[in-house]
A and B are shown apart, each in its own frame.
Chain A
């Protein structure tokens, strides 16, 4: 494998792993926990490192994951005092832990290779240099094993506990009633998130971990309503962003982690704008259609209301109809055109008359507004 391929594989594995656990954070309104956990693993990393863990040892990963879970526990303990709100609790805990980690690094670990910049920003470009040697054989870059391990862990956890996670995410009360422990699953999920963050930071850095956990999941949620689709879709979008980011970084000779975060943003923006049902444009179009439908129905109701009355002639004259409806002429012209096309209306000289289809549309509205036997019904029709 070339270093290029290796870097992309590492990034894809990390992105997919982050997207899987991140999906549950997004669904559970805990996206900022990703930010908090990813920052708060720093002191864990440093302490484990100082205890003789050395970079890349299991102790380091364990320490980091532990401090991630501790962060969540601390945030929740603070919240439970009812003296601060959730957002404040998050904002209090993780900067303090991160600051503590920075102090530890600069006090005790300055002479060794533990660079806060690297923790924050990742060093994906150098990842292929550190090899995994098993029984004297080079079996690939270490980071690939770590990120791949995180991916396997995520896939396993999500597929084994799919039903439980789904239930706890969408209806925690029902889950509790059915005998699942929301607390246990919650902390299980937090452990998964911390472990994933720790495994990925080595390759892509802490800030990108946040982007990879939140961005693809948020984008995928605009595309589907089904969790079973959402998870692989998020992983796919994450992997796509990772590969695109790699090439963007190559192109500009820029930070790979930074470029990947940018690509996560771009992918989200694309989905946000063009998603078939929930995208910005689709919403706009739907809104416009609804407006036209509503205007047409309103016109039909107006005409039906005055059909056969003394003021019918006055109320259906094309030249003055917009005044009765408080519309501008443009809107009337467009609505009349829609109505004629639909076969709801016909023109007779300067007057607008209802066809049967239009009349029955108006009746439907009346029937819906005044169901039989309730209150006042309009006198006509």
Chain B
């Protein structure tokens, strides 16, 4: 283990990968809290799948495979996907779950179709695109990490700026509307931040698993506190630790891809929280119930 920690500092590639996934985990952990609290956990899944056609289109139109270009494309169709979900879910007989499933599969199918059309061309540089499916954290270089940090940092900054508004929106949207806040605008802004978190992470963990990084750290953090501020900070920390841990594991055990390793680490954090959180955890709940039973029984004997 100490050897692993040392490698994390000394090995250039591993350090980059770990830093990248940690940044990503922190950003998506913090932003994911709002998705989880607002019961929109699965929107991230739709957004990440909807990003695929954008990535392919961006590359097709610009001919560039530079990360910022692809991320911009991913962001545009990802946001379109989110907009489509909310437009559809408002209609009669189309519930949110249907809208999500429809958008994610159709957008993803469109991306897949485009991708194969592109790949049909005799061009060697196309192969890199399908790494977006599962991500390619191992290919992260220092500049990628800095970009991710900068974009994620802006997103977190916006979150901090509109903290009070977002908080009110998440817990009592009606009150926010009555108080005169531009609820729709805030809603769009929060969705936009979610899209940012998703596209920042795509490169590292891929389309399929990205949604988990929004949900698992937030759901884990939720078990430890009832305060939003603490939850967001805790989710960011859990996300960052899962990211670094996943990267370390996959760096040391060859054959384990980074994305899945990060997701499994975050899920493990959730399971631990679910079981052992002092106030809500299943184990402590069971212990408290047992103690109460004992007390009641002894009181019953005494009387």
A residues adjacent to B (C-beta < 8 A): 26, 29-32, 34-35, 39, 78, 81, 83-85, 87-88, 90-92, 95-96, 98-100, 102-103, 106-107, 110, 116-117, 120-121, 207-208, 210-211, 213-215, 218, 221-222, 248-249, 252-255, 257-262, 264-265, 268, 272, 278, 280
CA distance A31 to B94 in the complex (A): 11
B106 touches A262 (CB 8 A): yes
CA distance A154 to B96 in the complex (A): 26
* Chain A residues, CB < 8 A from B270: 92
By Cβ-Cβ distance, the 8 closest A-B pairs, closest first, are A261-B109, A258-B112, A95-B212, A265-B106, A258-B113, A99-B260, A211-B105, A31-B101
A103 touches B216 (CB 8 A): no
**Is B227 part of the contact surface with A, judged by Cβ < 8 Å?**
no
Mask, B208-251, CB within 8 Å of A = 1, is 11011011100100110000000000000000000000000000
A34 touches B101 (CB 8 A): yes
Interface residue SS majority, chain B? helix
A254 touches B116 (CB 8 A): yes
CA distance A264 to B110 in the complex (A): 11
CA distance A31 to B42 in the complex (A): 11
CA distance A258 to B115 in the complex (A): 9
Distance (Å) between the CB of A379 and the closest chain B CB?
37
A261 touches B105 (CB 8 A): yes
B255 touches A107 (CB 8 A): yes
Cβ contact of B211, chosen from A95, A100, A258, A260, cutoff 8 A: A95
* Chain A residues, CB < 8 A from B260: 98-100, 102-103
Q: Assuming A31-B100, A87-B41, A262-B109, what are 16 further A-B pairs, CB within 8 angstroms?
A: A35-B100, A35-B104, A81-B282, A85-B36, A85-B41, A98-B208, A98-B260, A99-B264, A106-B256, A120-B208, A207-B105, A207-B112, A215-B102, A255-B116, A261-B106, A280-B91
* Chain B residues, CB < 8 A from A214: 98, 101-102, 105
* Chain B residues, CB < 8 A from A262: 106, 109-110, 113
Distance (Å) between the CB of A151 and the closest chain B CB?
20
CA distance A107 to B249 in the complex (A): 13
CA distance A102 to B246 in the complex (A): 14
A103 touches B261 (CB 8 A): yes
Q: B8-29: which residues lie under 8 A (CB-CB) from chain A? A: none
B98 touches A31 (CB 8 A): yes
* Chain B residues, CB < 8 A from A116: 134
Using known A-B contacts A92-B270, A257-B109, A258-B109, determine if residue A265 contacts B102 with beta carbons closer than 8 Å.
yes
A91 touches B212 (CB 8 A): yes
* Chain A residues, CB < 8 A from B263: 95-96, 99
* Chain A residues, CB < 8 A from B106: 211, 215, 261-262, 264-265, 268
CA distance A214 to B133 in the complex (A): 22
CA distance A213 to B109 in the complex (A): 14
* Chain A residues, CB < 8 A from B219: 84, 88, 92
* Chain B residues, CB < 8 A from A249: 113
B110 touches A88 (CB 8 A): no
Mask, B40-80, CB within 8 Å of A = 1, is 11101100010000000000000000000000000000000
B105 touches A252 (CB 8 A): no
CA distance A96 to B114 in the complex (A): 28
* Chain A residues, CB < 8 A from B280: 83
CA distance A139 to B133 in the complex (A): 36
**Is B108 part of the contact surface with A, judged by Cβ < 8 Å?**
yes
Query: Interface size of B by Cβ–Cβ distance < 8 Å?
Result: 59
Using known A-B contacts A92-B216, A261-B109, determine if residue A39 contacts B42 with beta carbons closer than 8 Å.
no
Distance (Å) between the CB of A102 and the closest chain B CB?
4
CA distance A90 to B45 in the complex (A): 11
CA distance A81 to B45 in the complex (A): 23
**Is B117 part of the contact surface with A, judged by Cβ < 8 Å?**
yes
Q: B83-109: which residues lie under 8 A (CB-CB) from chain A? A: 88, 91-95, 97-98, 100-102, 104-106, 108-109
**Is B257 part of the contact surface with A, judged by Cβ < 8 Å?**
yes
**Is B39 part of the contact surface with A, judged by Cβ < 8 Å?**
yes
Closest residue of chain B to A93 (Cβ to Cβ) is B267
CA distance A215 to B94 in the complex (A): 11
* Chain B residues, CB < 8 A from A280: 91
A88 touches B117 (CB 8 A): no
Distance (Å) between the CB of B275 and the closest chain A CB?
10
* Chain B residues, CB < 8 A from A106: 255-257
CA distance A246 to B188 in the complex (A): 37
Distance (Å) between the CB of B247 and the closest chain A CB?
14
* Chain A residues, CB < 8 A from B108: 207, 261
* Chain B residues, CB < 8 A from A221: 93
Distance (Å) between the CB of B197 and the closest chain A CB?
14
Using known A-B contacts A102-B257, A254-B117, A258-B112, determine if residue A92 contacts B267 with beta carbons closer than 8 Å.
yes
B42 touches A91 (CB 8 A): yes
**Is B259 part of the contact surface with A, judged by Cβ < 8 Å?**
yes
B256 touches A103 (CB 8 A): yes
Distance (Å) between the CB of A43 and the closest chain B CB?
11
CA distance A77 to B120 in the complex (A): 45
B93 touches A278 (CB 8 A): yes
**Is B152 part of the contact surface with A, judged by Cβ < 8 Å?**
no
CA distance A95 to B270 in the complex (A): 13
CA distance A78 to B220 in the complex (A): 13
* Chain B residues, CB < 8 A from A272: 88, 91, 94
Distance (Å) between the CB of A57 and the closest chain B CB?
25
Q: B256-290: which residues lie under 8 A (CB-CB) from chain A? A: 256-257, 259-261, 263-264, 267, 270, 274, 280, 282
B259 touches A99 (CB 8 A): yes
**Is B111 part of the contact surface with A, judged by Cβ < 8 Å?**
yes
* Chain A residues, CB < 8 A from B133: 117, 120
* Chain B residues, CB < 8 A from A121: 112
Distance (Å) between the CB of A213 and the closest chain B CB?
8
Cβ contact of B102, chosen from A117, A218, A248, cutoff 8 A: A218
Closest residue of chain A to B36 (Cβ to Cβ) is A88
Using known A-B contacts A92-B212, A96-B263, A210-B104, determine if residue A254 contacts B120 with beta carbons closer than 8 Å.
yes
* Chain A residues, CB < 8 A from B261: 99, 103
